[in-house]
Structure 1
Amino acid sequence: MGLVTYKQLAEHNNSGSCWIAVGGTVYDVTQFIHTHPGGAKIILKEAGKDATSAFEAVHSVELLPRFDETVKPVGTLDKSSERLDSNDSSTAEADAAALRRAGMPSLGSVLNSFDFEAIARQTMKPEAWAYYSSGAEDEITLRENHAAFHRIALKPRVLVNVSHIDTSTTFLKQTRVSLPVYITACALGKLGHPDGETVLTRAAGARNVVQMMPTLASCSLDDMLNARVDSQDTWFQLYVNADRNVTRDVVLKAEARGCKGLFVTVDAPQLGRREKDMRLKYQEDISDIIVKTGGDEEGESSTSTGQKKVNRAMGAARAISSFIDPSLSWKDIEWLQTVTRMPIVLKGVQTGADAVQAAKLGLAGVVVSNHGGRQLDTCRSGIEILPEVVADLKRAGLHGKMEIYVDGGFRRGSDVFKAIALGATGVGIGRPSLYAMSTFGQEGVERLLDIFREELEMVMGLMGCTKISDITEDMVDASHLSTRVSLVRDMLHQTVYEPLQPPQFNRSSKL
């Protein structure tokens, strides 16, 4: 392969002859555009240009030549040749990104998790912010997830020697972590940072917490696993593909590569209506990420994964999720038990009855979760469901047979303390880790984890606890948890929350 100038690249800018440059290599995608899962339009938008920025926003550069045999490398982009304005689609976005980050506060000014969110709201690309921050429909559950913590009161004990406080604990009876917090699975990390989920992997390793690696990551599973430090334990989150062979392959790969737990998402047989995301109709080509999320990192065709035609007007979430099998049932969980030796945890349990059923199957645990308020609006918060799960397991004589995790709305160390007091083994942190990554990269995520540890240490000290096992139910008053009435307004949360907007008039239109 020879060198290709920007001028030569620009000559192949239509459906009859379509070239794009990604990562310094020029590809002929003329045939591929007709079979592309996301349709031809998005590729033609980048025809004759260096599309690296647009492509890397959602997936690894190494993925492109593995998509289809019709993707043909034709040469190396000669970056010393004369650049045409139309050759680089990333220039305008780079300028816009620089403008958004102008005058950005320093990391030293960040005092709590809300600060990361406030900065991210101002600096992220609007489409990316909409995808990360959106909840289902009226976003009542999204807001309730955090508001519920304010209905739980703390009952401090005094005159306890708290000169040494240990926040470490053990997850799944095998992984010793520095605090009862893990980074939960969130999709499309490259919307916030060019290195995507590997930023979270490195930060988790640096602070000795577990990262749950997502099926819908914008990095490959290998990318994330290769970013681990020595002896770093990770979990894998699974969306079950309609093609069970694809599911089996990805599970076995995760196990072979050393993942210590399989977290099966069970609360997404259909996708919730995330209207903030839908309103912006995210235009980047993200549907083709589904090709790899079926489980084959070598890249399968849309036919082999059973990929359905995507309605892109429904937003990014629906575009990347149509491969998920809505027929998933308890029998499939029993089948997964025959596939892997990894401990299996159900992610998305919202009733005590389902937790009891999971325990009867001998599963390792459940994650009490409403999917970050992104699925069914007006359902209960994870922290409100938690006492019901514990109580039902006790009545069934199954309490202690499996571990209970919870996520949704955790923003303070005191939130973590309250969850542990109500029976949780550990707490998942989702959006805050994405906002920290999007604003300050790995250093930001490490600082976020430090803030959670510092706040938890402070709360434990003031509550008279020196270790996690000292935290007990009688240290909190949760009697008002289900009243849904909060007497105090949460000003920080209200400041960072962006209300939903109706369709806007275009007053510049001529009559």
Structure 2
Amino acid sequence: MTKLTGAEIASHNSKESCWVVVHGKCYDVTEFLPEHPGGQKIILKYAGKDATKEFEPIHPSDTLDKYLPAEKHLGPVDMGTVAAEDEGVADEAEVARLERVSRMPPLSQCYNLLDFEDIARQTMRKTAWAYYSSGADDEITMRENHAAFHRLWFRPRVLVDVERVALDTTMLGSRTSVPFYITATALGKLGHPEGEVVLTRAAAAEGVIQMIPTLASCSFDEIVDARRGDQVQWLQLYVNKDREVTRKIVAHAEARGCKALWITVDAPQLGRREKDMRSKYDEQAAQVQDSDDNVDRSQGAARAISSFIDPSLSWKDVPWFRSITRMPIVLKGVQCAEDALKAAEYGVDAILLSNHGGRQLDFAKPAIEVLSEVMAALRERSLDDKMEVYIDGGVRRGTDIIKALCLGARGVGIGRPFLYAMSTYGEDGVRRAIQLLKDELEMNMRLIGANTVADLNPSMLDLRSLGLHTSIPRDHLADQAYDRLVPPGLKAKL
């Protein structure tokens, strides 16, 4: 096949005829322009040019195959004839960031999950950090998700033989080495060029279940293809307005071996993540937000990739999901006891108590607080054995996980910390983060007096402060007397 040349492609650089190059192949996207969730201008900027660099971080590799008819695939390109994009001179901020990257501490000096977060804050690209770290509005819920765990205190049992401690358990019928899983998070390639498959490989090596996100940077099949042996994966689903699209996604996931379907129910519209909005995903955002294509792109990366989500999703759709799959069904994003009880009535297999990592409704209660209410309501009606309950949001320590398990959670989802570990140290970083949690879990289960996950129960917790949201006064004397707990600093420049 004769390859297209750069000169041929460059002549198709308008709204009337728009060709782009992605991964060495040319595509006619003229008719797709009005349908692009990110608006027309972002594509038109690369009309007649190589758009691979901008396409890669936010689109799975099979996007064009899925959404462009075969006749719009124009064929391979002689890349030697395509002019390279002038990247210009890196600005001072980028030069400074790269210098900090060169001084990252050794992985062995990361002793907890917050260490990865601190290093990521200093070394990630500004726009990637803004997307990963942002919460809704004033970020009150995002911060409370973590702080809420600090209001729970242990009541340890002593003189228990804890020579052997087992962390393994079952979640949705699958055996797992630990009572936590890697939850679904979008746009993995913002943090690492290989994206979500890094998480897949690390999860396989450490015996951890992975939830595959709808809005991944890698394609679903790329993530599943990276699976090893009998590794367990679940599918997180944003429900498409076109139910036939949704049905095909679910059927394909089941055919590829996914073991559970997690339907996101807390996002009829994605929340305002102002940190993300201010970054506008990348330097092209000023053009995008001023576009005349009737698509508001000022809302950041999250809104730009989520326009297909169906806000009409309701309880009436639950029986339909049951009719199209044999996978266990989980409602992801339940936030009150009333809806937990309703989920039990509808016969779902599990619920995830979650406020979307504080990225949706600000002032939604932390999941650990909702868990206490939900388990009390389920036990009162003898439903606590009928439906598994999970939580996520704000988990940074093994003690956080133990507290959730004591209250009755079957397992705990963790998202951002693994993204930060991946963004800074790749697969080794994710494995290190998982190992740190395993070590914390084993140590603290010994100290609380529990041999197995099944031994953890509500009597091991003091819940009296859980619902208190008053600020704790600062102890200025102690602040001055004690060394601060600080993360590992970047290495000094030689």
Establish whether TM, by shorter chain, passes 0.5. yes
Q: One-letter code of the match for 2:85?
A: N
CA RMSD of aligned residues (A): 2.9
Indicate if the aligned counterparts of 2:39 and 2:295 stay in contact, CA closer than 8 A.
Answer: no
Cα distance between partner residues in 1 of 2:474 and 2:463: 18
Q: One-letter code of the match for 1:163?
A: E
Cα distance between partner residues in 2 of 1:91 and 1:62: 32
* CA drift at 1:17: 5.8
Aligned ranges for residues 234-313 of structure 1 at < 5 Å?
234-283=233-282, 310-313=295-298
Indicate if the aligned counterparts of 2:37 and 2:305 stay in contact, CA closer than 8 A.
Answer: no
* CA drift at 1:64: 2.6
Quote the residue 1:289 is aligned against. none
Quote the residue 2:131 is aligned against. 131
User: Which digits, 9 at most, give the CA deviation of each residue in 1:446-476, with x for residues without a partner?
Assistant: 1111111111111011111111111111111
User: Which digits, 9 at most, give the CA deviation of each residue in 1:289-348, with x for residues without a partner?
Assistant: xxxxxxxxxxxxxxxxxxx96421111111222211111111101211111111111111
Are 1:87 and 2:91 an aligned pair? no
User: Which digits, 9 at most, give the CA deviation of each residue in 1:186-217, with x for residues without a partner?
Assistant: 11111111111111111111111111111111
Are 1:441 and 2:418 an aligned pair? no
Cα distance between partner residues in 2 of 1:37 and 1:405: 32
* CA drift at 1:370: 0.7
17-26 or 413-422, larger mean C-alpha shift? 17-26
Cα distance between partner residues in 2 of 1:92 and 1:443: 29
Quote the residue 2:147 is aligned against. 147
* CA drift at 1:152: 0.5
Indicate if the aligned counterparts of 2:188 and 2:195 stay in contact, CA closer than 8 A.
Answer: yes
Cα distance between partner residues in 1 of 2:135 and 2:238: 19
Quote the residue 2:453 is aligned against. 468
Indicate if the aligned counterparts of 1:152 and 1:477 stay in contact, CA closer than 8 A.
Answer: yes
* CA drift at 1:53: 1.9
Cα distance between partner residues in 2 of 1:328 and 1:144: 28
Aligned ranges for residues 244-393 of structure 1 at < 5 Å?
244-283=243-282, 310-393=295-378
Indicate if the aligned counterparts of 1:18 and 1:48 stay in contact, CA closer than 8 A.
Answer: yes
Quote the residue 2:46 is aligned against. 46
Quote the residue 2:160 is aligned against. 160
Cα distance between partner residues in 2 of 1:366 and 1:31: 41
* CA drift at 1:270: 2.3
Aligned ranges for residues 100-115 of structure 1 at < 5 Å?
101-115=101-115
Quote the residue 1:453 is aligned against. 438
Structure 1 residues 329 and 35 mapped into 2: Cα distance closer, same or farther (>3 Å)? closer
The SS at the match of 2:305 is helix
* CA drift at 1:10: 5.6
Quote the residue 2:407 is aligned against. 422
* CA drift at 1:488: 7.4
Quote the residue 2:169 is aligned against. 169
Quote the residue 2:491 is aligned against. none
Structure 1 residues 236 and 65 mapped into 2: Cα distance closer, same or farther (>3 Å)? closer
Quote the residue 1:507 is aligned against. none
* CA drift at 1:71: 3.4
Cα distance between partner residues in 1 of 2:434 and 2:224: 20
Cα distance between partner residues in 2 of 1:460 and 1:473: 14
Cα distance between partner residues in 1 of 2:68 and 2:334: 38
Cα distance between partner residues in 2 of 1:151 and 1:267: 25
Cα distance between partner residues in 2 of 1:427 and 1:15: 48
User: Which digits, 9 at most, give the CA deviation of each residue in 1:59-117, with x for residues without a partner?
Assistant: 233433543236333433334x6x85x53659969x76744522122212211111111
Q: One-letter code of the match for 2:256?
A: R
Structure 1 residues 177 and 493 mapped into 2: Cα distance closer, same or farther (>3 Å)? farther
Structure 1 residues 98 and 283 mapped into 2: Cα distance closer, same or farther (>3 Å)? closer
Indicate if the aligned counterparts of 1:55 and 1:285 stay in contact, CA closer than 8 A.
Answer: no
Cα distance between partner residues in 2 of 1:429 and 1:478: 23
* CA drift at 1:245: 1.4
Q: One-letter code of the match for 2:305?
A: I
Cα distance between partner residues in 1 of 2:204 and 2:383: 33
Q: One-letter code of the match for 1:87?
A: E
* CA drift at 1:35: 5.1
* CA drift at 1:34: 5.6
Quote the residue 2:492 is aligned against. none
Are 1:77 and 2:86 an aligned pair? no
The SS at the match of 2:390 is strand
Structure 1 residues 66 and 474 mapped into 2: Cα distance closer, same or farther (>3 Å)? closer
* CA drift at 1:262: 0.8
Structure 1 residues 34 and 476 mapped into 2: Cα distance closer, same or farther (>3 Å)? closer
Cα distance between partner residues in 1 of 2:474 and 2:58: 37
The SS at the match of 1:406 is strand
45-54 or 370-379, larger mean C-alpha shift? 45-54
Indicate if the aligned counterparts of 1:210 and 1:233 stay in contact, CA closer than 8 A.
Answer: yes
Structure 1 residues 383 and 90 mapped into 2: Cα distance closer, same or farther (>3 Å)? farther
Aligned ranges for residues 391-406 of structure 1 at < 5 Å?
391-406=376-391
Indicate if the aligned counterparts of 1:19 and 1:28 stay in contact, CA closer than 8 A.
Answer: yes
State the percentage of identical aligned residues: 55
Q: One-letter code of the match for 2:102?
A: A
The SS at the match of 2:330 is strand
Structure 1 residues 116 and 6 mapped into 2: Cα distance closer, same or farther (>3 Å)? farther
Structure 1 residues 423 and 493 mapped into 2: Cα distance closer, same or farther (>3 Å)? farther
Indicate if the aligned counterparts of 1:154 and 1:477 stay in contact, CA closer than 8 A.
Answer: yes
Indicate if the aligned counterparts of 1:26 and 1:76 stay in contact, CA closer than 8 A.
Answer: yes
User: Which digits, 9 at most, give the CA deviation of each residue in 1:154-188, with x for residues without a partner?
Assistant: 1222222222111111111x211111000111111
How many pairs align? 471
13-22 or 324-333, larger mean C-alpha shift? 13-22
* CA drift at 1:281: 1.9
Are 1:231 and 2:216 an aligned pair? no
Cα distance between partner residues in 2 of 1:329 and 1:489: 45
Quote the residue 1:57 is aligned against. 57
Cα distance between partner residues in 2 of 1:138 and 1:222: 37
Cα distance between partner residues in 2 of 1:349 and 1:335: 19
The SS at the match of 2:298 is helix
The SS at the match of 1:111 is coil
* CA drift at 1:20: 3.4
Cα distance between partner residues in 2 of 1:146 and 1:412: 10
The SS at the match of 1:346 is strand
Structure 1 residues 439 and 77 mapped into 2: Cα distance closer, same or farther (>3 Å)? farther
The SS at the match of 1:312 is coil
